């Protein structure tokens, strides 16, 4: 086989590898809300975060607008503080917005649902570093069963 032909076949091989990388990058991996592009951080304190993990999605009405980028425990009042990194293209959520930890499906993974509140005069939009005051914790199945049994026993 002459060397021109070999170069051609090797070129084909390299092109195939590049095509595979592109497929993995654009078709398999998430193009990444928070992967690239500009973002801003919001914070929320929960009583209980359940099974929420770093990299869980933040959704508004089912649309992913950001991701959880860190979970820490506040060292004064011992409640978890969750950092929500939101893409810059989704701004102007009013201060009255609330966040809750929801589960997709019965056994699915947990995500943060952001419910935009009403905006009227005197209500400012959420900015970088703001805390979202109105939070609802994760539903813990054991607590739920406990409440159910407790209310049953009172009947």
Partner 1 sequence: MNWLANLGAWVIEKIAATGRASQVLYGALVAVPRPIKNTPLVIRQMYVVGVQSLLIIVVSGLFIGMVMALQGYTILVDYGAEDSLGPMVALSLLRELGPVVTALLFAGRAGSALTAEIGLMKATEQLSSLEMMAIDPLRRVIAPRFWAGFICMPMLAVIFSAVGILGGHLVGVDWLGVDSGSYWSIMQSTVDFRADVLNGVIKSFVFAVIVTWIAVFKGYDCLPTSEGISKATTETVVHSSLTVLGLDFILTALMFGIE
Binding status of residue 20 toward partner 1 by CB under 8 A: yes
The alpha carbons of the chain give a radius of gyration, in whole angstroms, of: 23
- Of 16-24, 75-83, 113-121, 129-137, the window that binds partner 1 (rule: CB under 8 A) is 16-24
Residue whose entry in the numeric block shows the structure tokens 């359940």: 50
Q: Which of 44, 57, 65, 126 binds partner 1 (CB under 8 A)?
A: 57
User: Pattern 136-155, binding to partner 1, x per CB under 8 A?
Assistant: --------------------
SS3 of 64-122: the string is EEEEEEEEEECCCCCCEEEEEEEECCCCCCECCCEEEEEECCCCCCEEEEEECCCCCCC
- Of 3-11, 39-47, 81-89, 139-147, the window that binds partner 1 (rule: CB under 8 A) is 3-11
Binding status of residue 64 toward partner 1 by CB under 8 A: yes
Shortest Cβ distance from residue 31 to partner 1 (Å)? 8
CA distance 145 to 155: 16
């Amino acid at each position: 086989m002459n060397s021109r032909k070999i170069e051609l076949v090797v070129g084909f091989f390299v092109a195939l590898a590049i095509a595979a990388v592109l497929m993995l990058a654009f078709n398999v991996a998430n193009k990444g809300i928070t992967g690239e592009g500009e973002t801003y951080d919001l914070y929320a304190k929960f009583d209980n975060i359940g099974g929420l993990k770093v990299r869980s999605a933040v959704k508004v009405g089912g649309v992913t607008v950001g991701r959880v980028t860190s979970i820490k425990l506040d060292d004064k009042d011992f409640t978890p503080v969750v950092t929500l990194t939101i893409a810059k293209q989704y701004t102007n959520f009013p201060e009255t917005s609330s966040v809750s930890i929801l589960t997709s499906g019965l056994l699915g993974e947990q995500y943060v649902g952001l419910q935009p509140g009403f905006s009227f005069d005197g209500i400012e939009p959420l900015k970088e570093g703001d805390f979202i005051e109105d939070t609802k914790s994760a539903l813990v199945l054991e607590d739920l069963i406990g409440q159910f049994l407790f209310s049953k026993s009172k009947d």
